[in-house]
């Protein structure tokens, strides 16, 4: 039986997070908090269960990402994409020397998962790309399966990736899926892409088990309902805030309708 080497772990944290603007104009999306813990910390802790060798890529507000990642996982490799975003595949190409021929586990930093992802590597022989998914019972990314932001890339596949900005779907998954060479690992439990205000609010509520999630240093003088108050946020006396997200600068995002389960 083939033994798969310990994989290189790459946390993707370079995106602009435009759907969460203006919050993400001053704080990169991976440093926004779910249940008062940053998305970046949640992603790094999740990956630490799979490998001890971690890297993170950084583009938007890159120095904030680098500083936070270094505190969370001393010795983490930081891959700066200063000039342009490289996409998922391009990010692995830029890290090719650090990856050094190993298989790779890749995790988006903006996905909140209710449980650990240890099952992703169980029984993996390192030969086919594998995706963590959830069956939504309706059309999703792959039939009714929704991709949950964590995947594996075989060593030989990672070594063939090129420098052009590209995503793993176009570079790897599309053809692998068409030929039956893409593996799926289904999880049970809630999972949310925190790239939209509605899912970000829902993830916070599930993580904290409360209607509203208030950072320890946030100030509530008015009233709130289904709200996320990020560090330093304030709700003034006489103000009522509902289904919204607010940061220390006073930026407020309407979270819209409840997320469909």
CATH-assigned architecture of domain 8-191: Alpha-Beta Complex (3.90)
- DSSP single-letter state for residue 196: S
pTM above 0.85, yes or no: yes
Predicted pLDDT at 1: 46
Distance from C-alpha of 178 to C-alpha of 156, rounded to nearest angstrom: 19
| Nearest by Cα to 191 from 160, 149, 153, 154 | 149
The domain limits of the chain are 8-191, 210-254
Identify whether the C-beta of residue 148 lies closer than 8 Å to the C-beta of residue 120: no
Distance from C-alpha of 151 to C-alpha of 106, rounded to nearest angstrom: 5
Helices (H) and strands (E) in the chain, counts: 9, 17
The Cβ of residue 239 has, within 10 Å, a number of other Cβ atoms equal to 12
CA 125 to each of CA 2, 4, 7: distance values in angstroms, whole numbers, following the listed order? 7, 6, 12
Per-residue pLDDT of the chain (261 residues; tens, 9 = 90+): 468 899 999 999 999 999 999 999 999 999 999 999 999 999 999 999 999 999 999 999 999 999 999 999 999 999 999 999 999 999 999 999 999 999 999 999 999 999 889 999 999 999 999 999 999 999 999 999 999 999 999 999 999 999 999 999 999 999 999 999 999 999 988 999 999 999 999 999 999 999 999 999 999 999 999 999 999 999 999 999 999 999 999 999 999 876 655
Predicted pLDDT at 2: 64
């Amino acid at each position: 039986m083939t033994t798969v080497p310990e994989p290189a772990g790459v946390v993707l944290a370079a995106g602009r997070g435009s759907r969460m603007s203006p919050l993400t104009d001053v704080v990169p999306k991976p440093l926004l908090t779910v249940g008062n813990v940053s998305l970046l910390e949640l992603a790094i802790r999740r990956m630490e269960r799979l490998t001890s060798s971690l890297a993170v890529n950084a583009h938007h507000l890159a120095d904030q990402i680098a500083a936070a990642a270094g505190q969370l996982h001393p010795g983490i490799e930081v891959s700066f994409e200063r000039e342009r975003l490289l996409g998922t595949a391009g990010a692995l190409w830029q890290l090719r020397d650090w990856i050094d021929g190993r298989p790779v586990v890749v995790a988006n930093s903006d996905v909140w998962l209710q449980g650990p992802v240890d099952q992703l590597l169980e029984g993996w022989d390192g030969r086919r790309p594998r995706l963590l998914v959830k069956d939504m019972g309706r059309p999703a990314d792959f039939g009714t399966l929704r991709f949950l932001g964590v995947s594996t890339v075989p060593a030989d596949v990672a070594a063939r990736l090129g420098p052009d900005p590209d995503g793993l779907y176009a570079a790897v998954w599309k053809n692998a899926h068409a030929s039956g060479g893409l593996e799926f690992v289904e999880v049970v439990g809630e999972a949310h892409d925190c790239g939209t205000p509605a899912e970000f609010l829902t993830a916070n509520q599930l993580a904290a088990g409360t209607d509203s999630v208030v950072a320890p240093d946030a100030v509530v003088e008015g009233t709130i309902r289904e709200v996320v108050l990020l560090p330093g946020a304030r709700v003034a006396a006489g103000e009522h805030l509902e289904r919204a997200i607010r940061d220390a600068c006073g930026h407020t995002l309407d979270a819209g309708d409840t997320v469909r389960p």
